[in-house]
Chain A
Amino acid sequence: MRLRVNGQEVEAQEGTLLLEITDPPHLCYHPHTETRGICRLCLVEVDGRLLPACTTQAQEGMEVRTDTQELQTLRRTLLEWLALTTDLGQAPSLLALLKAHHGQPQRWGKLPLNRREREPIRDNPFFLRDYAKCVNCRLCVDACGDGIMGVYALALEGRGLMAHPTTPLDRPLPETPCVFCGNCLQVCPTGALRPLSAEV
C-alpha cells in the first residue's frame, strides 16, 4: 500500500498507524494503554483535515502533511500553554520540544487559573502524586484501570483545565485497591508520579 507523506511516496502495511511512519511529537499515546487522541500534539493533516497520527491508520492514496505552518503554530501554542499552566520541571522531553518550537509561554500573559499551585500528595511510602506537574493525559488512570492492571485505584476529578486524576472517594492510596505495582509511574510522561526514592 502506498501513500504520500510530505510529498514523498511511502510504502506501508495495511493498518499501520500514521504515528509509526511519520514523526510528529506525541505525548498521550502509549502502546500498552488505550489512551490516545487526547494531547493533539501528534495531529497531522490528512487530505486537508487535522487527524491524530496516533489513532489514524494509513490508507492507500492518503496525502499526509506533518509539518505545515498551521501544524507548527498549533504545536508551538499547545506547548506554550502547557508550560504556562503546568510545572514541566520534570518533563525534559517536553521542555526540549518547547525549545525546538521556539516557544515563548510568556507571550500569553498571566493565567490566574493554574495547575502549578497544587501541593504534592504523599500518602504512601512508594511514590508521590505531584499534580502541579500533571498535564491530565490520563495515562496513569488507564494503566491502572482498563489498560494494564484492571485494579481501578485511580479516577478522574472535575472538568476543564483543573480536571486531574484522583482516587476513588478521594481516599489516600493505601485505602484504595492500589497494589503499588508502579505501572502508573511507568507511563507518566511528566514526572507528576515519581518514586519517593528519587526525591532528595
Chain B
Amino acid sequence: MEKPSLLPLLDARLPLDEEKVAEAARLAGIPLAQAWGVVRYYPRYRGLPQGRLLVDDPVARARGFPRLLEKADGTHPPLGLEALSPIHVRVEGEKRFVEWEGRLVPFREFRLPFALGHGNRLLPSEPIQELAQYEALGGLVFLRRALENLLAPGAILEAVEEAGLLGRGGAAFPAHIKMRAVARGEAPRYLVVNADESEPGNFKDRFLLEHHPFLVLEGTLLAALATGATRVFLYVRDEFEAAILGLEKAIQQLEEARLLPVPTEVFRSGGLYICGEETALLESLEGKRAEPRLKPPFPVEKGLWGRPTLVQNVETLANLPLILKEGPGSWRQKEPKLFSISGDVAHPGLYELPLGTPLGEAVERAGGDPKGLKAVLLGGAAGVFTRDFALPLRYKGRIPLGAGAIVAFAKEVDLWEVLLGLAEFFREESCGKCFPCPLGTAVQVEMVRRRERDRDLVGHLGQALKGSLCGLGQSAYWAYQSLLEVEDAA
C-alpha cells in the first residue's frame, strides 16, 4: 500500500549522485532499479539545462522562432507565459528566473500578470490571495455550511449533476459521474487535483492557482466532502513555484481557521506533459515513472495506491463554489468556461466566456480580427487548426475544445513551422511506454519537416497513432490532419 513517494525524497537531495539515489530508494522501500528508472525519466533529475532558454511553444514558433532561438542557449518547455509574449527563462544552478519586461524575476515570485480576465462574469475580477479577502467577497460560505452539516455530501453531488459540469481538463467527462463513483467506493478514498498544466497555449489553471487559491481549495474541499475522500493531494506543476507557495500558505490559513476538514498537501509534479494524464499522474504521485496505466480499471475504482480516487482538473473544482453560489440552474445557463486566448490578437489573455460562444467572437473579444487570420489552433498541442469562425465553442461539438486554448495565427504565419513545433513537442513528450506513439511521433516530425501531403501516408500515420495507449499518442496527429484540411479549404 502506501509508501513514501520517491519523488520528494529525490527532490530533497538535488543535485543527485549515485549514493543519494541509493539512499532515496532505501527510504522509499523500493529496488534501486525502480529508483534508477525514475531518475532516468524525469528531466529535473538529470540536471536542469543551464543558461538563457527560450520558452518554446506554437506561439513562439509563429514569431520568428529561429531568430529568437539564436539569442538563446536552448529551449524550455511551455509555461503559459509565452502565450502573452515571447519569453526567456534563465537557469543558474538550481535557481530559475523568468525574464519579464527587462527584469529577472525568480520563479517563486512570478505570477501571470492579472491584467487578464476581460469579460469576467463569474470569476472575481481581482486576485484573492488572503483568507479574509476571500471571505469578505462571500467565499467559504458553502464550505462552512458543509462543515456545520447544513450542506450534505449528497446535496453537493446533486448540485454538480444538475449543473451538468463537464471536466475542464480536456476530456469533458461529466464531473458528477466520477464523483459518485468515488463516493460509492470503499474507504479510504483520495482526491487528487490535477494542476499540472503543461499544454502549449493553456494557462488557465496556472492563473487560477496563482490568483484564486482559496476558490480552488474551497472547490477541492467541497469535492472531498462530497466523495468522502480522506486525503487530498494537489499535484502542481513544479515550475509554478509562486502558485505552490501561495497554495501552501492558503492551506495553512485554512487550517488555522479550522476550515480544513481533510488533510491537504501540495505535491511537486514531475514537470512533463504526460504528468497531466490522470493515470500517469497517479504513477508519479506514487513515486514511479509517469507512464499511463492500462484502463480499465479506472482511477475512480483503483487509483492512488489502488484506492478509489477522484482526479479532477483545477478549473473543474474551482467551479464548485460558483455552482453553489449561483445555483446550479443559473450556472448551467451561463456555462462559464475559461479560454486562454493568445497569438495574433491585440489583448492576449484569459477570458471567461459562456460555452457556445462562436470562435470568431472569442477572437474578437481578445482584439483579434478573424478576417486577418490564417487559422486558429483550438485546444492546444492536442488540438486542431480551423478557420471555421462560426464554430460554437462547446464540448461535444465537431472540434475538440480541449482545455480551452485558442491560438490565433495571422495570414503571414507559416503554419507548417507551427506544426513542426507541435510535432517536436509530441516527440519530446512521448513517454515511450507503448509502441505507436514514440515511433509515430518521431516519424511525424520528419513528415512535417518535408511537408508531406500524401493523403495515404498521413492517413496511415493517424490510423496507427489512434492505437496508442493514451491520449497523448492518440491526439498527436490531429493538428497535422487538420492543417491539410485547412489548406484544402483555402
Contacts and interface: CB of A to CB of B under 8 A. Distances in A.
Contacts of A36: 294
Given A37-B469, A50-B466, A109-B446, A160 B33 contact: no
Contacts of A110: 446
Nearest to B454: A107
Contact of A156 (B41, B272, B434): B41
Interface string B432-443: 111110111111
B18 to A, nearest CB: 5
B212 interface: no
A74 B34 CA distance: 32
Interface stretch (B53-61, B171-179, B456-464): B456-464
A82 B294 CA distance: 22
Contacts of A158: 40-41, 432
A97 B343 CA distance: 46
Interface string B209-232: 000000000000000000000000
B397 interface: no
A11 interface: no
B234 interface: no
A135 B436 CA distance: 11
Interface of A is mostly: mixed
Contact of A159 (B35, B41, B460, B466): B41
A163 interface: yes
Interface string A9-47: 000000000000000000000000000111111010000
Contact of B443 (A74, A81, A170): A81
Most buried by A among B289, B438, B466: B438
Contacts of A52: 294
A156 B41 CA distance: 8
Interface in B421-476: 427-436, 438-443, 446-447, 450, 452, 457, 459-461, 463-464, 466-469
Interface of B is mostly: helix
B435 A135 contact: yes
A156 B427 contact: no
Interface stretch (A121-129, A147-155, A181-189, A190-198): A147-155
Given A38-B433, A145-B33, A155-B36, A74 B442 contact: no
B110 to A, nearest CB: 27
Interface of B: 18, 21-22, 31-37, 40-41, 272, 289, 294, 427-436, 438-443, 446-447, 450, 452, 457, 459-461, 463-464, 466-469
Contact of A77 (B21, B41, B461, B468): B461
Contacts of B446: 108-112
A157 B469 contact: no
Q: Across chains A and B, which 9 residue pairs bring their CB atoms closest together, nearest first?
A: A163-B432, A152-B31, A77-B464, A81-B439, A155-B33, A152-B33, A161-B438, A156-B37, A168-B32
A68 B398 CA distance: 25
B439 A156 contact: no
A85 B36 contact: no
B422 to A, nearest CB: 15
Given A40-B469, A81-B440, A111-B446, A157 B37 contact: yes
Contacts of B40: 155-158, 166
Contacts of A81: 435-436, 439-440, 443, 464
B438 A160 contact: yes
Given A152-B32, A168-B32, A38 B434 contact: yes
A163 B21 CA distance: 20
A1 interface: no
Interface in A56-100: 70, 73-74, 76-78, 81-82, 84-85
A169 interface: yes
A113 interface: yes
Contacts of B434: 37-40
Contacts of B468: 40
B435 A41 contact: yes
A52 B469 CA distance: 9
Contact of A169 (B36, B430, B457): B36
Given A136-B435, A152-B31, 20 more contacts: A36-B294, A37-B469, A38-B469, A40-B469, A50-B466, A78-B464, A82-B439, A85-B442, A113-B442, A145-B33, A152-B32, A155-B37, A155-B40, A157-B40, A158-B40, A158-B41, A160-B428, A168-B33, A168-B35, A169-B21
A176 B18 CA distance: 14
B36 to A, nearest CB: 4
B464 A73 contact: yes
Contact of A161 (B34, B272, B432): B432
A170 B460 CA distance: 37
Contacts of B436: 40, 74, 78, 81
Contacts of B36: 155, 166-170
B435 A73 contact: no
A89 B292 CA distance: 31
A76 B456 CA distance: 13
A155 B34 contact: yes
Given A160-B427, A169-B21, A73 B460 contact: yes
22 contacts: A40-B469, A70-B466, A77-B464, A78-B439, A78-B467, A81-B436, A107-B457, A108-B446, A108-B447, A109-B452, A110-B446, A111-B443, A111-B446, A156-B37, A158-B432, A160-B427, A160-B431, A160-B442, A161-B430, A161-B432, A161-B441, A168-B35
